Structures are given as structure tokens and as C-alpha cells.
């Protein structure tokens, strides 16, 4: 069945339990920020830096980067995710300016940020060359000359030929109750686009389970496709760093405004 699902509704619904995708969200926050910090510092050195996370969700990268001393701004399509990211920062006494915004239309002024981050497969929710180009152009626009732009995506190069039907099961827990998350992938015929059914199965009492299903649509962009679009959006020095090189759990596309 060919369908295009509402990304905002997907993440609005998921925001209250998004952390349960991780077995240890707090650990992931620290690990991911440490890896991104190494990449940013390699390019920009020391000093106080202004960073925009333009698809911050509930804050997995934004919180960790703020805790490391970056001056953080955040944006996300999902108002519910933005509200949770804001609350998570307040709980931790971290300051961040977070707004609901589509990365194709960033509300920030030109050349504002030392670094722009778009992490954990947010960009592949955009399905056409035009939409991705527009988002990358916006990231470039709000980045100051010499800034660094980091986009992390699922490693589609390694799986696109197989067109997998599922993603690995993740297990976590809340107050001693188990939570299992898994994904079904239904590929559109003859296309790199797929509908993802996200299943969260939660143990409500011993032996009793409740399932919540949500759907989103992604496009399995290859690294060369995204690199070409980044160059077309006016970025230079576009290259990819592997997880082995950075310690981040996804490949990172790294570029700079030209």
C-alpha cells in the first residue's frame, strides 16, 4: 500500500515515550554528545560555540551538548517533542532556546551558528530532492562562514540492496516493567521510500502487554545522494565520517558553508 504518513503526528504521539526506545537514554545522551563534541572540536577548536540542533526531538543530542557547555538552540517539527525537550532541559538546569520549526523554513537569522546539527535520521523524513535541498540550504544559511554542519543518518548504503522488512528489536524498561520496540518496513514499489510501522509493546502488569502502533514515511537516501544535494545547497568540504571514526552510532555527513 502506498502511503505518506504525517511526520508531525508520529512524533507528537511518540514524544512522551520516545526515551523508551533506548535501553539507557541518559547514557545515550552522554555518549552521543561526546562523539558530536569530538567532531565539532576537531573542526572548530576550543571556545564557546553556538549550536543549532534543527531536529532536536525530545533532546537526545541537544541536552548532552548543552551539558558540555555549548550555547544551544533547538528546533523540531513536533510541538510535543519541543515541549518535552524544553522540560527536560529545565529539569537539568540547562539553558536552551527551543522552538517548533520545520527545518525547511528555519526561523533563525543568516550566519548565526558555529555549528548546525541534524541527528538521528531526521532528514530522511523528507522524501524529495527539492525538500532535502531546501533543508540543507537552510542549515547552510544559518551557519556562519567557517561553521560546521553535521547530518547523521541511518547507514542506508549498507541495507538499501536488501530492502529489509524489519529493524532490530530494542528493549528497555520503565519502573520494572519491560518495553519492547520494533519496526516494520513496507517499501513503496520500485522506490527507496518505505512506510515504517513503529510498535511499542509495554508490559502493563505481569503477563499483560499493550501495543501502540504509529506510522511514518522515510526515504533511504544514500550517502552520495545526500553529498550531491549538500554541495548543490552551497556546502563545501562535504565528506562522511563512519561510526568507527567518530564513536557516533550513525555515519555523519560533515560540511561547511561555501
Ligand X SMILES: C[S@@+](CC[C@H](N)C(=O)[O-])C[C@H]1O[C@@H](n2cnc3c(N)ncnc32)[C@H](O)[C@@H]1O
Segment contacting ligand X (CB under 6 A): 35-43, 63-71, 113-121, 175-183?
A: 113-121
Under rule CB under 6 A, residue 37 binds ligand X: no
Total residues contacting ligand X by CB under 6 A comes to: 20
CB nearer to ligand X: give 124 or 257: 124
Segment contacting ligand X (CB under 6 A): 43-51, 86-94, 118-126, 165-173?
A: 118-126
Under rule CB under 6 A, residue 74 binds ligand X: no
Helix axes 60-67, 79-91, angle to 10 degrees: 30
Under rule CB under 6 A, residue 120 binds ligand X: yes
Segment contacting ligand X (CB under 6 A): 35-43, 114-122, 228-236, 246-254?
A: 114-122
* Minimum distance from residue 157 beta carbon to ligand X (Å): 19
In the chain, the largest separation of any two C-alpha atoms, in whole Å, equals 58
Under rule CB under 6 A, residue 55 binds ligand X: yes
Strands 50-53 and 177-187: unpaired
C-alpha cell at position 180 = 519492547
CB nearer to ligand X: give 71 or 121: 121
Q: In the 8-state DSSP scheme, what is residue 109? A: P
Strands 143-152 and 208-219: unpaired
Residue with cell 554528545: 33
**Among 156, 138, 162, residue whose Cα is nearest residue 223:** 156
How many residues comprise the chain? 258
**Interaction pattern, residues 155-194, with ligand X; x per rule: CB under 6 A:** ----------------------------------------
Enumerate residues 6+ apart whose C-beta is below 8 A from 130.
none
Amino acid at each position: 500500500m502506498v502511503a505518506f504518513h504525517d511526520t508531525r503526528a508520529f512524533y507528537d504521539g511518540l514524544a512522551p515515550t520516545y526515551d523508551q526506545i533506548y535501553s539507557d537514554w541518559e547514557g545515550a545522551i552522554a555518549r552521543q554528545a561526546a562523539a558530536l563534541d569530538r567532531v565539532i572540536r576537531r573542526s572548530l577548536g576550543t571556545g564557546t560555540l553556538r549550536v543549532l540542533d534543527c531536529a532536536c526531538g525530545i533532546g537526545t543530542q541537544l541536552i548532552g551538548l548543552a551539558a558540555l557547555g555549548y550555547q544551544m538552540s533547538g528546533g523540531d517539527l513536533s510541538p510535543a517533542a519541543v515541549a518535552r525537550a524544553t522540560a527536560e532541559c529545565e529539569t537539568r538546569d540547562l539553558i536552551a532556546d527551543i522552538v517548533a520549526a520545520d527545518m525547511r523554513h528555519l526561523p533563525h537569522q543568516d550566519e548565526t551558528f558555529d555549528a548546525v546539527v541534524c541527528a538521528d535520521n531526521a532528514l530522511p523524513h523528507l522524501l524529495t530532492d527539492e525538500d532535502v535541498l531546501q533543508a540543507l540550504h537552510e542549515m547552510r544559511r544559518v551557519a556562519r562562514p567557517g561553521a560546521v554542519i553535521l547530518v547523521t543518518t541511518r547507514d542506508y548504503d549498507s541495507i538499501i540492496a536488501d530492502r529489509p522488512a524489519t529493524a532490530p528489536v530494542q528493549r528497555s524498561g520503565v519502573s520494572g516493567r519491560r518495553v519492547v520496540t520494533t519496526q516494520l518496513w513496507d517499501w513503496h514499489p520500485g522506490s527507496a521510500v518505505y512506510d515504517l510501522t513503529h510498535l511499542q509493546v509495554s508490559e502493563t502488569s505481569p503477563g499483560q502487554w499493550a501495543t501502540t502502533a504509529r506510522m511514518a514515511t522515510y526515504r533511504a537516501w544514500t550517502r552520495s545522494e545526500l553529498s550531491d544535494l549538500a554541495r548543490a545547497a552551497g556546502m563545501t568540504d562535504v565528506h562522511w565520517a563512519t561510526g568507527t571514526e567518530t564513536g557516533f552510532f550513525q555515519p555523519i555527513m560533515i560540511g561547511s558553508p561555501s
